[in-house]
Structure 1
Amino acid sequence: MHAHDTYDYAVIRVVPRVEREEFVNVGVILSCERAGFLEARIEVDEARLRALDPGIDLDLVCRHLAAIPAICRGGEAAAPIGLLPPRARFHWLTAKRSAIIQTSPVHMGRCGGDLAATLEHLMDRMVRPPKPAG
């Protein structure tokens, strides 16, 4: 039987108008130190963001969001942050900010080993709109 992995995750949010504190969840960052796993998935729902701020610069937001998975992958392409160990990159990505791109508080979970499937489950639960019943 496979031991359960403990992981940490945070939801990535876009806050179009920081002063209003309204946000749309657009992704999840998941880290499992024991497995050496650090990955982010992002899906931007442009209509939901435009509902909060019709003048939002979606190209700029998407360029900034694209940096998150790059930092998770690490390496020179994401330097200097990408050169840090994975756990340090996770903590850097989830640090409290007052900016258009923020993360939720860090939460903890356990899974049976398929961290990629866990990340997809979190995307379904925390980011993607619910599927209609029926």
Structure 2
Amino acid sequence: MPEATRVHLEPTINLPLSNNWGSINTEAKLLATHYQQTNLDWYNSRNTTKLAESANRVMPQFKVDGRMVFERDMEMLAPGYTQTLEPRAQYLYVHIAIRAKSITTTRRCCNLTTPACSGTGLTAVLTVLPPLTR
């Protein structure tokens, strides 16, 4: 059976800016992964799709996350209380190159809710890789 070793690096540059009424956070990443496979003879002799001994994947990622804070005193309805509204928006750009089909695609995620792209299917897109073929 084939065995594989994976090395994954995510160097990140982050620039957070904030003040009393809001904040913005920009982030740039380079997702780099190297796969090294061994014991391929058994698999390659039984299948028409041959596995490669090694493969590399490099995906740049850029994210902007912004938040604003709106506050007002509730003197008319509830004296002594403050009403706060904190809308948040996030834009995430990930460039994914699919080498198996010689097609380069671009994935973008823009979510205007607080979880900001978590659970929207983007994680599944990042983990699905084309087969390592020769």
| TM-score relative to the length of structure 1 | 0.30
More helix by share: 1
Which one has more relative contact order, counting CA pairs under 8 Å at least 6 apart?
Answer: 1
Work out which of the two has the higher radius of gyration on C-alpha atoms and give 1 or 2. 2
- In terms of fraction of residues, the more strand-rich structure is 2
Q: TM-score, normalised by structure 2?
A: 0.30
